[in-house]
Amino acid sequence: MRIGFYSKLAWEGIRKNIKMYFPYFLTGSVMVMMFYILSFLTESPAILNMRGGDILSTVLPLGCGVIAVFSVIFLFYTNSFLIRFRYREFGLYNVLGMDKKNINKIMIWDSFYASVITIVSGIAAGIVFSKAAELVLINLVKADITYELSIGISSLGNTVLIYILINLLLLINSIVRVRHLKPLELMQSSKAGEKAPRGNWVFAVIGLILLGIAYVISVTIKEPLTALSTFFVAVLIVIVGTYMLFIAGSVAFCLLLRKNKNYYYRPNHFVSVSSMVYRMKRNGAGLASICILLTMVLVIISFTASLYFGEGNAEKTRYPDGVNINVTFDSIDGIKEENIETIRSAIIQNVDKYDCPAIDIEGIRTCEIPGMITDDGITVNSQGINDLSVTSYNHLGYLCIISLDDYNHKMNKSEVLGDDECLIYCNRLSFKWDTFTMEYGTPYRVRKMLTKFIDDGEANSLVMPTVYLVVKDVDAFIRPVENMKNSFGESMMMYDWRCGFDMDTAEHEVSVSKDIYNDIHNTLMDKCDIYSLSVESREANRASFFELYGSLFFLGIVLSIVFLFAAVLIIYYKQLSEGYEDQSRFEIMQKVGMTKRDIRKSINSQLLTVFFMPLVMAGVHLGFAFPFLWRMLIMFGLNNMWFIAMVMIICFAVFGLFYAVVYKITSNSYYSIVSGL
């Protein structure tokens, strides 16, 4: 046979089954387009050359990797629908004399057409929309917009190569699947449904237990570091539990409905429940996939939207004042009054240039040391930390010691402490014991757990928790470990003086920050051992927040679009494949008196009974994921719980409406098939 013969057969197969192929082509093109756009933005000169381009060039490739991996998983999943739908056609070719090699040639051409259509259309759409995506991203990060058009040559090559390889893997998988089927199996497999399964209560209960474990983990976690380290474990548990619950539990649920005679023996329930029980094993897996995709969309967009729209809260948390000064010394002599007075003079001289109102530059002195926060204190020697178990590293943090005089002055308090007493405030950590002990030191009785403390942008920017300890005599408290060295021979104890103030305009804060930094650096660098010097203004660093949070929000939007297309395609294929399976059943029911109105009621019953379960379960997953997300957002400086909750509720409401509209549209396709329209 001539080569053109196989290409024509393949093209005719696609053309006749365009209702099945078109959404597959559309989704494949969208994935190619999104991959190209993210790859293009990674190498875009407008992105790389703007301030914060290094952040974007780090974040965007992560999205490329996620889309590539997801494309493999999802296209394999949806390609199985197409191949299964064409089994009967391939079986007919086999009966008419074609062997498996001839059928393979048809599938090769079929794969060629699919690859060309999806890659070419995806690349074309990517080139068209890449500039729009670039403008959206630049607008989100508040950078300067350019209008130069360009094509990413390397991005183009990488996109084509990756999706050719993916389509090659799909072809190999299709050939292997068809090779192991006999002609009769090919002829009957497209119509073969699942045997009516039994409700596997054991699997359903295990699924509920797994979900319960994940929910308990989320609700009981208190520290952000613990949430970060256990998040992906909980996600895996939720995925496994969801699949087990939908596959086994949905069957059991339908069997319970069938046993309910008042519900089951009604025209609009009888057919839908019977057909769902018949094929629920495969149906359950599809519903679980939809649920997981919807959950991914809701979590990603809720997290990134909270970051972006809560930028002001995070910025205020990181930079409590318009100008924030932090000088770190190697020894306690650095924070003596002589050096502090020199710093104050530099600040006053530079602030006076702008004729601003009087500012409070009293500042506060702290001694900080990293270590392991234990049940009753802190372990600071490196050997002691290494001896602890890996799970204990969630309590790795900083101890910040402050004198009682500085605390009372800064907080306008009049607390009184004995020589062996302390006040404690914990940031991102719970401490509930009656005493606190510095390693090699004596126990200090905890007189009070403070509920409010000095705003500390440095501590808020750290992933690790911080314990603030207020004592009467700082020198006596730190004496046991003040000369301790780390593995690099450096002192483990750092001595800080920090100060913050606001000025009348943001522009003045930016200018005075630079002047203060230069004066302090030139005055003190040769006079004493300064470990680090930081003079930051909130206004100067505002752009960095938009760069990071804007790029994450943009990435969240892109990934959400990809996952939504995947969910919509699964819903569409489920409606079509189940419509063809149910067509003969509804024909019989119409012959015995079932009207088209009854068919519509039955379809609506099926929709309300089962297919809104993924959305409801996704909402439950999102609700229990809230503690996880909130504690991880705290590490980004966003601690407004009600704002985060409101963002999640809005996201769920919007996607719930979208899901209802999409399912209504696809259910019309199902109705037209089963009713013979």
Question: What token pair was written down for 526?
Answer: 């040769």
pLDDT of residue 70: 79
Which range, 122-131, 185-194, 214-223, is most confident?
122-131
**Which residues on adjacent β-strands are paired with residue 494?**
368
Higher pLDDT pick, 655 / 595:
655
What's the longest Cα–Cα distance across the chain?
Answer: 100
pLDDT of residue 432: 74
Is the pTM for the entire model greater than 0.85?
A: no
Higher pLDDT pick, 385 / 58:
58
The phi and psi torsions of 412 (rounded to 5 degrees) equal: 55, 50
pLDDT range class, residue 50, cuts 50, 70, 90? low
pLDDT of residue 384: 47
pLDDT range class, residue 161, cuts 50, 70, 90? very high
CB atoms within 10 A of CB 526: 8
Higher pLDDT pick, 147 / 512:
512
230/227 Cα distance (integer angstroms): 5
Q: Are strands 377-379 and 435-438 parallel, antiparallel or unpaired?
A: parallel
Arithmetic mean of pLDDT, 254-282 = 60
pLDDT of residue 165: 92
Higher pLDDT pick, 250 / 487:
250
385/403 Cα distance (integer angstroms): 27
| pLDDT tens digits, 543-590 | 677 777 777 788 788 878 877 877 777 777 776 666 666 666 666 666
Which amino acid, residue 324?
N
Higher pLDDT pick, 460 / 653:
653
Q: Give the CA radius of gyration of the chain.
A: 32
pLDDT of residue 152: 72
* Nearest CA among 487, 467, 465 for reference residue 477: 467
CB 369 within 8 A of CB 491: no
Mark 433-469 as b/e (b = at least 16 C-beta within 10 Å).
eeebbbbebeebebbeebeebbebbbbbeeebbbbbb
pLDDT of residue 225: 65
The pLDDT mean for the chain works out to: 76
pLDDT range class, residue 194, cuts 50, 70, 90? very low
Is pLDDT of 93 > 80?
A: no
Is pLDDT of 259 > 70?
A: no
Q: Are strands 364-373 and 396-403 parallel, antiparallel or unpaired?
A: antiparallel
pLDDT range class, residue 538, cuts 50, 70, 90? confident
Considering only 94-108, 314-328, 383-397, 403-417, which range has the smallest mean pLDDT?
383-397
SS3 356: coil
Helix (H) or strand (E) holding 326: strand 323-329
Is pLDDT of 191 > 80?
A: no
pLDDT range class, residue 196, cuts 50, 70, 90? very low
CB 321 within 8 A of CB 538: yes
pLDDT range class, residue 268, cuts 50, 70, 90? low
Q: What percent of the chain has pLDDT over 90?
A: 2
Arithmetic mean of pLDDT, 131-155 = 71
Task: Determine the number of helices (DSSP H) and then strands (DSSP E) in the chain.
Answer: 24, 10
Higher pLDDT pick, 505 / 577:
505
DSSP state of 636: T
Is pLDDT of 643 > 80?
A: yes
